[in-house]
C-alpha cells in the first residue's frame, strides 16, 4: 500500500478585485517525496539562499524585504530561483487538488453563521476528494497544512 502526503495552503480573497477563497494542495507519494523532492528543494535553498531552513513563502520571496529574502533583489539569484521552481514543476510528479469558493455567494447559500466558514467548507471538499484519490490508488495518507514540520524538510 502506497503512502501519500497532501500539502495544503489557502489563498484568501483580495477585495475588491477578487472575492474568491481557494484551498488547494499537492498530493505526492511519501517515498518519492523523501528520495527526490526533498533533496531538490534543499539544493535550491542552498544555491539561492545559502540556508536550507528558509521557508518558500511567496509573499516574502516576492517582496524581498526581510533579511533572509533580500537575496531575491539580485536579478541573477531571482532568475535562478524562478528557473529552479519552473524546473521543479517540469520534473516532479504531483497531483493537484483545489476547491474555490466565492465568499460573497457562500453567505447566500448557507444561512447559518456556523456554515459560513469558507475554509472549513473548502477543507471538507478537499478531504472528500483526497479520500477518493487514496481509494483509487490503494493508498493511505497524511495531511500537512502550511507545514513547518522538521521531518518534511
Q: Into how many domains does the chain fold?
A: 1
Q: Lowest-confidence range among 15-19, 30-34, 108-112, 126-130?
A: 108-112
Contact 99, 122 (CB under 8 A): yes
All cell numbers assigned to 2: 502506497
Residue 26's beta-bridge partner residues?
7, 96
Predicted local distance difference test score (pLDDT) of residue 48 = 96
Predicted local distance difference test score (pLDDT) of residue 153 = 46
CB atoms within 10 A of CB 29: 20
Q: 147 or 118: which carries more pLDDT confidence?
A: 118
* Residue 152 confidence (pLDDT) above 60: no
Residue with cell 466565492: 102
CA dihedral 104, 106, 110, 111 (to 10 degrees): -10
Domain that holds residue 16: 2-152
Predicted local distance difference test score (pLDDT) of residue 124 = 92
Rg from Cα positions in the chain: 18
DSSP code per residue over 64-81: --SGGGGGGGSHHHHHHH
* Residue 37 confidence (pLDDT) above 90: yes
pTM (2 d.p.): 0.83
* Residue 68 confidence (pLDDT) above 60: yes
pLDDT per residue as tens digits for the range 54-67: 999 888 999 998 99
Predicted local distance difference test score (pLDDT) of residue 113 = 65
pLDDT per residue as tens digits for the range 70-116: 999 999 999 999 999 999 999 999 999 999 988 888 877 776 666 66
Amino acid at each position: 500500500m502506497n503512502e501519500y502526503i497532501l500539502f495544503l495552503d489557502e489563498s484568501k480573497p483580495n477585495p475588491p478585485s477578487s472575492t474568491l477563497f481557494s484551498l488547494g494542495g499537492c498530493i505526492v507519494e511519501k517515498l518519492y517525496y523523501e528520495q527526490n523532492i526533498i533533496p531538490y528543494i534543499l539544493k535550491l535553498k542552498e544555491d539561492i539562499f545559502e540556508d536550507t531552513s528558509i521557508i518558500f513563502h511567496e509573499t516574502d520571496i516576492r517582496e524581498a524585504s526581510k533579511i533572509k529574502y533580500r537575496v531575491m533583489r539580485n536579478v541573477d539569484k531571482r532568475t535562478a530561483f524562478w528557473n529552479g521552481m519552473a524546473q521543479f514543476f517540469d520534473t516532479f510528479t504531483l497531483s493537484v487538488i483545489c476547491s474555490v469558493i466565492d465568499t460573497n455567494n457562500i453567505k447566500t447559500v448557507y444561512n447559518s453563521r456556523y456554515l459560513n466558514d469558507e475554509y472549513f467548507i473548502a477543507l471538507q471538499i478537499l478531504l472528500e476528494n483526497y479520500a477518493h484519490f487514496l481509494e483509487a490508488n490503494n493508498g493511505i495518507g497524511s495531511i500537512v497544512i502550511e507545514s513547518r514540520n522538521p521531518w518534511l524538510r
